[in-house]
Amino acid sequence: DAKTTQPPSMDCAEGRAANLPCNHSTISGNEYVYWYRQIHSQGPQYIIHGLKNNETNEMASLIITEDRKSSTLILPHATLRDTAVYYCIVRVPTQGGSEKLVFGKGMKLTVNP
C-alpha cells in the first residue's frame, strides 16, 4: 500500500504557481519522498526527490516540513503542458532488501488557460 495521501484533483491557472500537497505521516527517518508525474498515457516522469532539506531543480521545488510528515511540490509557473497526474511516493522495502516505488492514485493537476 502507498504510504502517502494526496487530494484527488486540483486546478491551477496558467502562469501561476501550483502547490501540490502530500501527506506521509508514517514516513521513516531514512525514507526519501519522490515525485513523479504521468502525462496522458506516457511513462511516469521523474520530477524531484528529497529527504529532509528543501530541494529545487529545473522542474520544481520540494518543500518538506520539519517533522517530515508532509511535503509540497511547487511548480513555480505552471503551463498547460504541466497538466498531468502527479504522484507523491515514499519508497518501500522489497523482499530483496532494496526498495521499490508504490504508486497511489495520485493527484490530477489541470492547468487552465
Partner 1 sequence: NAGVMQNPRHLVRRRGQEARLRCSPMKGHSHVYWYRQLPEEGLKFMVYLQKENIIDESGMPKERFSAEFPKEGPSILRIQQVVRGDSAAYFCASSPLGQGASNSPLHFGNGTRLTVT
Closest CA to 4 of 64, 78, 94, 59: 64
What 3-state class would DSSP assign to 26?
Answer: coil
**Binding residue (CB under 8 A) for partner 1 from 41, 53, 58, 67:** 41
- Of 98 and 113, the one with the shorter C-beta distance to partner 1 is 98
102 binds partner 1 (CB under 8 A): yes
DSSP 31: P
- Of 10 and 91, the one with the shorter C-beta distance to partner 1 is 91
Q: Retrieve residue 60's grid coordinates.
A: 520544481
- Cα 107 to Cα 87: distance, rounded to the nearest angstrom: 6
53 binds partner 1 (CB under 8 A): no
Q: Which residues bind partner 1 (CB under 8 A)?
A: 30-32, 34, 36, 41-46, 49, 51, 87, 91, 94-106
